[in-house]
Amino acid sequence: MRIEQDIKLDFKDVLIRPKRSTLASRKEVDIRREYTFKWSRQKYHGVPIIAANMDGVGTMAMARAFAAQGDGLTAALHKHYPLDDLVAFYEKEGSANIWFSIGVAERDEEKLEAFLKTPAGAKLDKLCIDVANGYSEPFAHFVRKMREKLPHVTIMAGNVVTGEMTEELLLAGADVVKVGIGPGSVCTTRKMTGVGYPQLSAIIECADAAHGLGGLVCADGGCTVPGDLSKAFGAGADFIMLGGMLAGHDVCEGEVVEENGRKYVTFYGMSSSTAMNKHSGGVAEYRASEGKTVKIPYRGELAPTLQDILGGIRSACTYVGARTLKELSKRTTFVRVTQQINNVFGES
Ligand code: 5GP
């Protein structure tokens, strides 16, 4: 047994220190980023925010709303769309705003194979391969296999929280490594297993490792307010994946219920018993649910939420004098505002 004594930080443990700036208005700030991916060599230009591949977040309607919004946000479609719907979407609407998501289960691979054999298969350009625990050796093998099979497709893979595993996944063929174990709003991994890593430190350490190899990271989970996205970008995140902050809108394809004159929707983790009952016929005997189900207020249109998020990031850039989002991390100095880390379960 070993105890690591270094301080590891979460979003709530820091604030960003303001800096002298020549910017007169947040209108002058460009929060799009431009990347050429390490392996696929494809180019990306847009606001690097990704809707999580969860039921009620990674929906086709979300992707359409992003396309209409025009800033290059993308949605990682959840893994449970039928093949025909995916084919129809790619054929009609293209791939610009979506990631095709798979896990490492046989049925996921079969679905991808079947998709590739359709005329829409040639349009596949971004693949998100994710599992709860990106540390298993078979996972890195799977990423390597996908890289060999799909050399020109941009691959995002995860989740991990440490530099050495970020490097391993990048060397296995990932263009973007997804970072986060336990910070998600409907995740109970930290409670159920005791495993996790404070998200801000995970981003800092993984981004440092990835950038050294010409790779990128996507900070996945734990953002609850726009300021958390500014902190994640300030810490070095190249992309940010959002679940809870995008849940509950009209584009989430969830059922809206009315109770005492108020509207609600159900939002659940993809490892919750709700998700496993819906998609896998129940929780398998050998595992426990690592996600929860919550009832959240229905939030209507997505546009005001997006405006808040993007406006918050622009404003953070003006506070530190970053004319572009790329400059934000270079101009970020975090001030620690807590003495010790507690509340690691992300609950208030
Ligand atoms: P949020 O933005 O809601 O804080 O976090 C979203 C992320 O939580 C997702 O992208 C995914 O990585 C993670 N997540 C989603 N469902 C579950 C779950 O049931 N269990 C765990 N451990 N993580 C989940």
State residue 230 phi and psi, 5-degree precision: -60, -40
Which residues lie with the beta carbon below 6 Å from any ligand 1 atom?
Answer: 52, 54, 132, 159, 180, 184-187, 189, 220-223, 241-245, 269-272, 290-291
Could you report the per-residue pLDDT of 276-299, keeping only the tens digit for each?
999 988 777 777 789 999 999 999
252 catalytic per annotation? no
Which of 127, 64, 114, 62 is closest to 84 using CA atoms? 114
Taking all residues of the chain, what is their mean pLDDT, rounded to a whole number? 95
Q: Calculate mean pLDDT across residues 11-33.
A: 93
Cβ neighbours of residue 44 under 8 Å, at least 6 residues apart?
A: 33, 34, 35, 36, 37, 72, 154
Residue percentage of the chain with pLDDT more than 70: 97
**pLDDT over threshold 90, residue 24:** no
Q: What is the pLDDT of residue 343?
A: 62
Which of 96, 94, 90 is closest to 75 using CA atoms? 96
Confirm if 298 and 263 have CB atoms less than 8 A apart.
yes
Find the range with the poorest average confidence among 33-42, 91-100, 332-341.
332-341
Mutation test of ligand 1: which of 10, 11, 53, 54 has the most ligand atoms closer than 8 Å to its C-beta? 54
**pLDDT over threshold 60, residue 346:** no
| Dist CA 154 CA 100 (whole Å) | 10
Write down how long the chain is. 348
| Dist CA 156 CA 176 (whole Å) | 4
In the beta sheet, which residues pair with residue 160?
179
Distances from the Cα of 48 to the Cα of 17, 35, 98, 290, angstroms: 23, 10, 12, 27
Confirm if 243 and 252 have CB atoms less than 8 A apart.
no
**pLDDT over threshold 50, residue 348:** no
Mutation test of ligand 1: which of 159, 186, 229, 280 has the most ligand atoms closer than 8 Å to its C-beta? 186
Which of 166, 161, 218 is closest to 8 using CA atoms? 161
For ligand 1, atom 13, name the residue with the nearest CA: 184
In the beta sheet, which residues pair with residue 129?
102, 157
Q: If you measure from the C-alpha of residue 96 to the centroid of ligand 1, how many angstroms do you get, rounded to a whole number?
A: 24
Q: If you measure from the C-alpha of residue 20 to the centroid of ligand 1, how many angstroms do you get, rounded to a whole number?
A: 37
What is the DSSP code (8-state) at residue 247? T
Q: If you measure from the C-alpha of residue 186 to the centroid of ligand 1, how many angstroms do you get, rounded to a whole number?
A: 6
Q: What is the pLDDT of residue 341?
A: 53
Q: Calculate mean pLDDT across residues 332-336.
A: 98
Q: Calculate mean pLDDT across residues 327-338.
A: 97
Which of 89, 92, 109 is closest to 101 using CA atoms? 109
Whether the bond into 159 is cis, omega within 30 of 0: yes
Q: If you measure from the C-alpha of residue 321 to the centroid of ligand 1, how many angstroms do you get, rounded to a whole number?
A: 32
Could you report the per-residue pLDDT of 200-225, keeping only the tens digit for each?
999 999 999 999 999 999 999 999 99
For ligand 1, atom 22, name the residue with the nearest CA: 187
Pairing of strands 33-36, 14-16: unpaired
**pLDDT over threshold 50, residue 13:** yes
Pairing of strands 216-220, 239-242: parallel
Could you report the per-residue pLDDT of 137-184, keeping only the tens digit for each?
999 999 999 999 999 999 999 999 999 999 999 999 999 999 999 999
